Each structure stands twice: as C-alpha cells, then as structure tokens.
Chain A
C-alpha cells in the first residue's frame, strides 16, 4: 500500500474535517454566484462596521482631534454644494406643494402637514443623499487612493492599524456631520415652506409658524436626529468599505466611487422605507395636526 493510499484510507476512516468541510461552507457553496458575492459584500461591510465600533469604543481616545480636523475639512470643502443641493431641493419641493395647497385654499392647514411630511420623508432623505454623494464620494476617493497607492499596506507593515488611524476619525466625523446637518436642513425646510406659503398662498409668517410649532413635538425632532445618525452610520460604512476594497488601477477607483454612491442610495432608500414604517407604526398619533 503506497503512502498516498494509506493516507486516503485513514482519511476515510476518521474523516478529519478540513477547513471547508463543515455544514456552513457547503451551504455557501450551494448559493449561486450573484447573491453570494452580494451577501459576502454585506458581510464585509458589517465586519468593517464592527471593527470601527470596537476600535472606537475599546480605546475612546486619541482620534477626537483628528476627527474634528477632518470634520472641518469636509465641511469647508463641501458645505457650499451641500447647501445648494439641499436648499434648492427643499425650495422646489415647498413651491410645488404650496402652489397646489393654495389652489385648494388650504394653505394655513396644509403647511403644517406639509412640514411634517416634508421633513420626515424628504429633509432626512435629501440630507442623506447629498451627504453620500458629496462627502461620501470624497471619503471613498480618499481611502481608495491610499489603497491604490499601497499606503494602507505600508501602514500595516509598519504596524499601524489603518482602521484605527484613518477610518475611525473619518467615520466619526462623517456620521456626526450627517446627524448635525439635518438641523440646518430642518430650518431650511421651514423657511422655504414659509417663503412659498407667503409668496403663493399669501399666508402671513405668524400664522405659518403658529400652526407649525403647535403641531410639532420633540419626539419628531429626536426621531429625525436618530434617523440621520443611522443613515450616517450606513453611508460611512458603505463608503469606507468601498474605499478600503478599491483595486484595479484607475478604472477600479472610479468604479469604487460609483458603486459606493449607488449602494449608499439603494441602502438608504430601503432603510428609509423600513424606518418610516416602523416609526410611524409605533407612533401613529404624530400625524395629527393640533
């Protein structure tokens, strides 16, 4: 009996499980290629998110100054386009609907509804879309460029954790940015609606703000902040993952940015649907105008 045969028969008898012999690898093997790669991608994103949170929570010091710097840089670089995109969208949104409500003669009643619906669905939405398109794409470019130039590998070789040094400050600053920028977004929504209501519906500002503030509750503001925070985590994770996994030269980086933005949008749309359904289902009385 040759050595190979002996080895094989011993394997048959004991069947020592190899690395890929378990049940889960076999199940994974049954999944077709398309879904498997997207599931693997989602898994990679969750793993990255876990690493970021673990790294930030275990040693919560040393990156705050850099986060602040990065926050400032992002804000200085992309404040103007973000403001233009958000303000333009909200202005247009309020124009269209205020015109319609004024035709129906319900401006004074309608604007409060409009504001609730507007900020719940669209302020949060446009903030997230613009942040992921402007700041998220820039983040993916930044990390992807480092990956392509092999700076990340160099850092790893030198014993520096790229996630700790590069990703954590950026992730924190982008999440905080998404959360905080919803507040000026809300203010812009209110002012845009008021301008539209006074221009098209001849509603006085006092009436508008009275009906607005009498039908708002703090819970809604908290909900917007929580929603934006979650969206910030989502965008950050997708953009960081795509940046860290960029590869394949120039087209690879362009494609990474493309995919980061597209995946952020898809994830954001689906997440918003789920969030609104759950939040409104839990607090249905929020739609009431008092």
Chain B
C-alpha cells in the first residue's frame, strides 16, 4: 500500500495534482477565515479587556515602547538617511537640488515609511508576540488560564492588541518626526544637497494635515494588523518547540504579504484620484 503511494507520488497525475491544489486552497481559505474570526473576536473584547485587565494592557504597552520603540525609530532614521544619499545623486545631476525636501514628504511619507514601519513592527513586535504566546500555548499555560476561568483571548490577545492600539500611533508619529530630522541631517548636513531653509520650505510645502492623517491611519492599520496576526499565530501554535518556530516564521510571511497588499489598497484609495500636491491646484 505504502509502496503504491510512493510510486504514485513520483509521477502525480493531473487529477491528483489538481486535488492537491484544491486541498491546499481549501486549507488556505480555512486558515484565513480562522485568522479573521480570531482577530475579530480579540478586537470585540478590547473594551472588556480595558475594564478587566487595565494594568496588563499598560504593562504590554510599556514593553512595546521600551523594547521595540528604539529599534523602530532607529531603522526609520536609517531609511531617511539612505534616501538622502540616494536622493542626492538623483536630484543633484539635473540640478533639482532645492526639491530634496520633497523626498521626505512625498516619497517617504506617502507610504514608504508606513511600509517599512510595518516590516519592523512585524519583525520586532509580531515575531516576539508569536514566540511568547506560542510557548505559552505549548507549555499548556493557556489551558491553565482557561481552567482558572480566565478567557485566554481576552487576557493574552486583546491586551496586546489594545496595547498596540495605544502605542502604534505615537510610535509612528515619533518615527515620522525622526524621519524628517534624519532627512535634515542627511540632506543638509551630510550630503549638502540643499540649504536648511530650502529643505524645510519644500518639506512642508508638499504636505498638509490630510497627508499626516492618511499616514497615521495607514500606519495604525498596518501596525495593529501585524500584532493581531501575530496573536493568532501564537495562539494556534502546536507541535512542540519546532511548532513555535514555524508559527513565528509563518506569521512573518503572512504579515509581509498583508503589508504589501494593504499598501496597494491604501495608495489607490487615498492618492489614486488626488495627488494632494501644490502643483496645478
């Protein structure tokens, strides 16, 4: 019987590979539905979490700020300096030097910072959450919580999501400020692409409050989504220590794909019909 199976698996017929594909697709759809259901459940229970476990929410928020804040802000700063270096050689040759400030308010603030922010949140916060919750699940601590009459979704997932909801906007606003400052350091101090006055003129000419609101909404959705996906993969980890590692890797994959998808949707929704630029208006 097993020999039969192995012979067949060597040369799969069309019907078999179709069956495999259908099974894989069914599994993917089921997983996605589970993911959405879990995230919805943990979002719905956030008000109750604030009432029952406020200290846990703020403890998680503190962990996010202290543990992940510096890394996120530092990498956004590196991104800005890197754009300053690349932008110098792009803008300098044709003599567009004075527009260097627009790099930070157009190219970066309209999506790149949000996407990079999402990557780092997914890597630093998301994978950490999966590792933590997954090992709790493997060590049957989640079952112990349930036995004690504590709702694990509420206590573990919703607290982290609530902490993310509190922290992510402020973290992103800080990151944006640091991006502008690092851009100043890169473009004005290091590369000498543009003067300080020219930098700030074009930096603030090409953005208004709508841009900031869009950027904040975008980053908020991306960051909270990464944390929610991570709580799902942590809560469904199974299969020993190896399972935790696999769940961590899988959450990273799903987050990367979702961040890119969300970026396309947001770019089309917010900037597709209206460039929101002080040109021709």
Interface residues of A (CB under 8 A from B): 78, 81, 84-89, 91-93, 95-97, 99-100, 102-105, 113, 116-117, 120-122, 129-130, 133-134, 137-138, 140-141, 144-145, 148-149, 246, 249-258, 261-262, 265-266, 269-270, 272-273, 276-277, 280, 284-289
Q: Give CA–CA (A137, B111) in the complex, Å.
A: 25
Q: Give CA–CA (A120, B82) in the complex, Å.
A: 11
Q: Does B148 interact with chain A (Cβ within 8 Å)?
A: no
User: Which one of A116, A133, A138, A284 has the greatest number of beta carbons of chain B within 10 Å?
Assistant: A133
**Which listed residue (A133, A141, A273, A288) contacts B93, Cβ 8 A?**
A288
Cβ-defined contact, A280 with B249, below 8 A: no
Cβ-defined contact, B85 with A277, below 8 A: yes
Q: Jot down 30 A-B pairs with beta carbons below 8 A, ordered by A.
A: A81-B254, A84-B260, A87-B260, A89-B260, A92-B264, A92-B266, A96-B107, A96-B111, A100-B275, A103-B277, A103-B279, A104-B277, A133-B119, A133-B122, A133-B256, A134-B253, A137-B252, A148-B241, A249-B135, A253-B131, A254-B130, A254-B131, A254-B244, A257-B131, A257-B249, A261-B127, A265-B120, A266-B71, A273-B85, A287-B92
Cβ-defined contact, B242 with A103, below 8 A: no
Contacts of B78 in A (CB 8 A): 269-270, 273
Interface residues of B (CB under 8 A from A): 71, 74-75, 78-79, 81-83, 85-90, 92-94, 106-107, 110-112, 115, 119-120, 122-124, 127-128, 130-132, 134-135, 138-139, 240-249, 252-257, 259-261, 263-264, 266-268, 271-272, 275, 277, 279-280
Q: Give CA–CA (A29, B275) in the complex, Å.
A: 57
Q: Give CA–CA (A112, B79) in the complex, Å.
A: 22
Cβ-defined contact, B271 with A95, below 8 A: yes
Main secondary structure of the interface of B (DSSP, over half): helix
Cβ-defined contact, A145 with B135, below 8 A: no
Residue of B nearest to A258 (CB): B127
A133-B123, A273-B85 are known contacts. Are A97 and B106 too (CB-CB below 8 A)?
A: yes
How far is the CB of B196 from the nearest CB of chain A, in Å?
21
Residue of B nearest to A145 (CB): B242
Cβ-defined contact, B107 with A97, below 8 A: yes
Known pairs A141-B245, A250-B138 / 8 extra A-B pairs, C-beta < 8 Å: A103-B279, A134-B256, A253-B242, A261-B252, A262-B127, A280-B85, A285-B93, A287-B89
